[in-house]
Amino acid sequence: MTVITSITTWWLMIQEEMMLHNETWDDAISCTLGPDEIDRPFDRGWGGINGPPFTVWTRTRVYFPATHNGAEWCASVARHPDGQPTEHIGG
């Protein structure tokens, strides 16, 4: 039996977004989350905003929280102009 949970941490969700852009935590230059905040479990599902706000900068991207109807995830944009449009985030 598979149990589906919406409990996660920012560390995991940021890492997933980084992987989409061929980055890892080794590429992080600065992160506004402290050790306790980045690994604090929270419910990313529908309802309310549970994860603390953050920004993570790498050499090529900026990572930040996104939300819609209380569901939370990590989004990112290029750090420097790259000519690519940014899709709507949230809703």
Residue 32 in any domain: the answer is yes
What is the number of domains present in the chain?
Answer: 1
pLDDT tens readout for residues 31-76: 999 999 999 999 888 777 888 999 999 999 999 999 988 889 999 9
Asked if the model's pLDDT at residue 83 lies above 90, the reply is yes
Q: What per-residue confidence (pLDDT) applies to 2?
A: 56
Q: Which of 17-21, 44-48, 81-85 has the lowest mean pLDDT?
A: 44-48
Asked if residue 85 belongs to a domain, the reply is no
Residue 87 counted as domain residue: no
- Kindly state whether residue 65 falls inside one of the protein's structural domains: yes
Residue 63 domain flag: yes
- Parent domain of 25: 7-74
Q: Which residues of 60-91 are buried (b: 16+ CB within 10 A; e: fewer)?
A: ebebbbbbeeebbbbbbeeeeeeeeeeeeeee
**pLDDT greater than 90 at residue 26:** yes
Rounded to the nearest 5°, which phi and psi values hold at 33? -85, 135
